[in-house]
Amino acid sequence: MEHHVESSTEVTFHHPPGGSDTIKRIIKTTVLLSVITIIELGLGLWMYFLHKGEPSHGLILAIKGIIVILSLAKAFYIVSIFMHLGDEIRNLIMTIVVPLALFVWFIIAFLWEGDSWLNLRNTDGHSRPKTEQRAPEAKKPGVE
């Protein structure tokens, strides 16, 4: 096995190949990812049953928030354990992760934009007061 250490001059220190520890870590991560997914599905089904009644807007938003956080946790485990980014040198991790911070601005700015668009739509470009805001209701076909 030693010969593969010399084969690449691009790597100064080789990680020693992991043994049964690595397998254990993979199994642990798999279980974790599966459990998180099942919780997400459970929350999704809960929302489905809530939607049959008149759910409070705040509760739905809270469930969606939890699902987003759980998805971010899944993303962290996939990148850190399965893609072994957690085992790389800190400087390398930073060159990948720091640019992704742009997403913070990206998401806030564009969802804000979408909300503003909705506002303009419902007030005819602010020519109407916002209090009239309501979703257009479907007409009964027999009436027309």
Site for another protein in 93-122 (CB under 8 A): 95-96, 99-100, 102-103, 106-107, 110-111, 113-115, 117-118, 121-122
Task: Supply the minimum distance, in Å, between the C-beta of residue 62 and another protein.
Answer: 12
Binding mask 69-98 for another protein (x = CB under 8 A): --x--xx--xx--xx-x--xx-xx--xx--
Residue with tokens 């010399």: 6
**DSSP alpha helices (H): ranges in the chain?**
3-7, 20-50, 57-77, 90-100, 102-122
Q: 57, 130, 131, 138: which one contacts another protein (CB under 8 A)? A: 138
Least distance (Å) between residue 59 CB and another protein: 13
For residue 103, what are its two tokens? 């997403």
What are the C-alpha distances in Å from 130 to residues 58, 111, 115?
A: 21, 20, 13
The minimum distance between CB 39 and another protein, in angstroms, equals 11
For another protein, the closer of residues 109 and 127 by Cβ is 109
Site residues for another protein, 11-40, by CB under 8 A, read 11-18, 22-23, 26, 30, 33-34, 37, 40
* Cα distance between residue 18 and residue 36, in whole Å: 26
By the rule CB under 8 A, 131 interacts with another protein: no
How many of the other CB atoms lie within 10 Å of CB of 13? 7
